Structure 1
């Protein structure tokens, strides 16, 4: 029987690439999303992957959403915590709402989504938890104190949870993408991309969502079973650890 993978923020950008790659590699995939109904339905019709709508910052909504997925597809074997938002601004001008919104979606969501699936994984003796963090959680970024703090917290979450669950056949890992050619990045002024951003990337180009997805597929499968508590940087050499 195919393993069940749940991808948060799984109907757009990097999340969509992850969902499609997992399906292509034999997983039964469910994708959650937060608000863009049109994009989610288009993704569903194009891929055949079912979509489920809830707010990953709301624990009760996550718990109910996981139950719905499991009732339709089966127990979640692979959880990809991909959902994330930005609310950028310099810290001395940042509102409490800008801070809280990013923390809820980018950090609190790890508890909200992982807590409802971890006991089942432990009971079955197999599981994969993969967190999409960010290069800015590793190096920081001016104008993103909230985002950088949340994404750094993601890495700490991975390291601790990996230690707690390694003996139960569960791996927990983080992927830290750099600049990836999503709609959001492609919307940046082309001159800024050319003169300011790409020169920071030694390989000389933006990454592609599919490059992140291929790493997720590897970590989600049997071949990734000896990798846990790791942080995989996929950034074209922009930041080396």
Structure 2
């Protein structure tokens, strides 16, 4: 075996590198931890930082709404961990407000983080996926686009935009060996939701689910684990709804 062939073997054996946005807490943190357990080297891109270092996760400060910051963060991941061939966009901004009272700046910020952040991230990471001829892209969307709650039109619209992006990118990137899928959580018991969502609402959602318990971040992370694996190589452009059967689509 010559030196070039040996280098190819080493690359094939090396742990895959994954980028997870919004990985400091909540569903993003659970995804990052699950991918580490799956044997990946993980970088969390988040404007927030965890309270303490986490084994196997490189925490990279990043404002997802800033194209230069995203490009710089992806470059840093490449330099420190290697080419990231798994990209998971989980970072999201969410406020609850009636549509007629919604501030235009809140609408813009919702799209800047939820949608523009995905655009900047994929553009920055795509050259490495293209060069490898393999990649997994996952967008964390929301079950709310199927069963929209009141006072969240801006958030639902942003998640719908991500779903459209997933479908179009799947068409464009499929010939390159790159799959693009969405994972849509239902109401999940994250730190944020447990503070902001009344227990009565959790109970109402449970009553509509086929599986009558509240979803956990690990439930979402398990599906993301599948969505970035080799096993999903013939599935792309799809939305995997993880809501305990509330939507049943």
- Could you say which TM-score interval applies, normalised by the shorter chain? over 0.9
Deviates more, 1:73-82 or 1:179-188: 179-188
Measure how far apart 1:24 and its partner are.
0.7
Q: 1:155 aligns with which of 141, 157, 163?
A: 163
Q: 2:124 aligns with which of 98, 107, 116?
A: 116
Alignment of 1:205 with 2:213, yes or no, is yes
Between Structure 1 and Structure 2, whose CA radius of gyration is higher?
2
Runs (5+) with no aligned partner, structure 2:
1-13
Measure how far apart 1:87 and its partner are.
1.9
Distance in 1 separating the partners of 2:102 and 2:111: 13
Measure how far apart 1:33 and its partner are.
1.2
Distance change (3 Å), C-alpha of 1:184 and 1:41: closer
Distance in 2 separating the partners of 1:198 and 1:185: 15
Hey, what does 1:69 align to over in structure 2? 77
Q: Residues 86-125 of structure 1: CA distance to partner in whole angstroms, max 9, x if unpaired?
A: 0221111111011011111111111011001112211210
Measure how far apart 1:141 and its partner are.
2.4
- 1:106 is paired with a residue whose SS is helix
- 1:158 is paired with a residue whose SS is helix
Aligned length: 235
Structure 1 runs (4+) greater than 4 angstroms displaced:
none
- 1:139 is paired with a residue whose SS is coil
Normalized against structure 2, the TM-score is what? 0.90
Distance in 1 separating the partners of 2:180 and 2:124: 15
Measure how far apart 1:47 and its partner are.
2.8
State the superposition RMSD in angstroms: 1.3
1:7–1:80 CA contact under 8 A, matched in 2 = yes
Runs (5+) with no aligned partner, structure 1:
none
